[in-house]
Amino acid sequence: MKRFFTYVVFCMLMASCVKQVNWDVPGGASNLVAVDGILTNERTTQTIVINHPVNKLNDTALPVSGATVIIHTSDSTWSLTENPSGSGKYQTPSTFMALMNKTYTLNIYSGSSVYSAKASMVAGMTFTQLTYAQNDKDTLFHIDFVASAFSSTQPTMWEVLLNWSKVPAYLHADSSKCKARLLFYTLPTLDVSEIFAPVVEQVSFPAGTMITERRYSLAPPHAEFIREMLLETSWQGGLFPTSAANVSTNLSSGAVGFFGVCAVNQLSLVVK
């Protein structure tokens, strides 16, 4: 009887892993804009991407082109330029650099609509480099550990850039297939769906790979946005999926996505 009960519970868990969700975009995708933009403390050209959301998975997003995009603080203003034209990608001057103790306001003027958001930077900090390990079945390597998934005081996004296009054995290979970008997160919450998230594909790379590890500091609202986004995407499909819901945003009505300001710390290493 005990074995039968265990079998029934197992079947119920397996049956609960798949759930059909109807994605209803309020007002239709064409009436919304999706903003993806992070300003950093690096002196470089920085980009705000503005698209229309899609109604179906794997659809191609249509850019919001021809908008007027302005970023300002209490004492400075920057006008962004769409580059390339028609792409929905709006860039700051190359001399731009976000600063601590400043509040940055993003204003987007598109047709008769105006969208806005405000964000400030949390201080960055140095960190211990990631670790990597050799695969069990070949001579390639994989990322073994980046950082703890939980921290109550230091929400962080980790960007790991891998490039093995300069390794002798790959000099004649397609360089675009010799690069990878991985994202990891340290958040002030720990969710059941995160613990039991689906397994993701492991990226393998050879000795000689250049690894660039970048730490982005996250303000609390930015960390909450990322958590909700992961609950709707990467953490779905496991043993304990969550009900679909709209992800929070710091943008005004009619816009989705997030506008953030992050301090970035970076280090580089070569796989030996």
Looking at residue 22, its pLDDT comes to: 57
Amino acid at 159: E
Q: Which domains does the chain have, with CATH numbers?
A: 25-120 (2.60.40), 131-249+257-270 (no CATH)
Name the average pLDDT for the chain.
90
Looking at residue 20, its pLDDT comes to: 55
* Closest by Cα among 110, 93, 94, 137 to 34: 110
Give the span between the Cα atoms of 170 and 10, in whole angstroms: 46
Looking at residue 87, its pLDDT comes to: 98
pLDDT over 90 for what percent of the chain? 79
Residue 108 has pLDDT above 90, yes or no: yes
Residue 29 has pLDDT above 60, yes or no: no
Residue found by looking up tokens 């730490």 in the block: 215
* Closest by Cα among 169, 270, 135, 153 to 211: 270
- For residues 26-39, give the mean pLDDT: 79
Per-residue confidence band for 241, with pLDDT thresholds at 50, 70 and 90:
confident
Per-residue confidence band for 54, with pLDDT thresholds at 50, 70 and 90:
confident
In DSSP notation, 112-175 reads TEEEEEEEEPPP----PPPEEEE-SSSS-EEEEE---SB-SS--EEEEEEEE-TTSGGGTTS-G
What is the model's pTM?
0.88
Amino acid at 2: K
Give the span between the Cα atoms of 242 and 232, in whole angstroms: 8
Please write the tens of the pLDDT for every residue from 112-150. Answer: 999 999 999 999 999 999 999 999 999 999 999 999 999
Give the span between the Cα atoms of 81 and 100, in whole angstroms: 24
Residue 15 has pLDDT above 70, yes or no: no
Looking at residue 239, its pLDDT comes to: 78
Residue 5 has pLDDT above 50, yes or no: no
Mapping DSSP to helix (H, G, I), strand (E, B) and coil, where does residue 61 land? Answer: coil
Give the span between the Cα atoms of 218 and 224, in whole angstroms: 9
